[in-house]
Amino acid sequence: MTQASPSATTVRNLKTMLQYQDNAIVSSMLIKNSVGNVTLFAFDGGEGLSEHTAPYDALVIGIEGEAEIPIAGTLHRLGEGDSLIMPANVPHAVKPLGPFKMLLVMIRGEK
């Protein structure tokens, strides 16, 4: 089990933890351990992630703004407070519809 540092036990607001940067995708890993990681992303308008796969299941939670997330050819629209599961090894992309913040939770599967 990973022990939390004192700063990790402070209540923080996901919307204000990470700021947008012009023409960039900014990320901050909040937790990383042997079973997975939790990363906060801020996409400037016009920025996104091209289609790719990941070896682990992932949960995406919309924090601010909206994005289209195609998974295996099916388009999903994600807004603030919405969540979406992206299965392991299935092609997906992130296409923000303006400035967009999301929390990505990746969990490693059993070996």
Which amino acid belongs to residue 10? T
Expressed as residue numbers, the domain containing 58 is 6-107
- Does residue 1 sit within a domain? no
Does the reported pTM lie above 0.75? Answer: yes
Q: CATH no. for residue 32?
A: 2.60.120.10
Confidence of residue 10 (pLDDT cuts 50, 70, 90): confident
Q: Which residues are CB-neighbours of 58 under 8 A, at least 6 positions away? A: 85, 86, 88, 104, 105, 106, 107
| Side-chain half-sphere exposure of 43, counting CA atoms within 13 A | 25
Total domains in the fold of the chain: 1
Distance of CA 58 to the CA centre of its chain: 8
Kindly report, residue by residue over 31-86, the tens digit of the pLDDT.
999 889 999 999 999 999 999 999 989 999 999 999 999 999 999 999 999 999 99
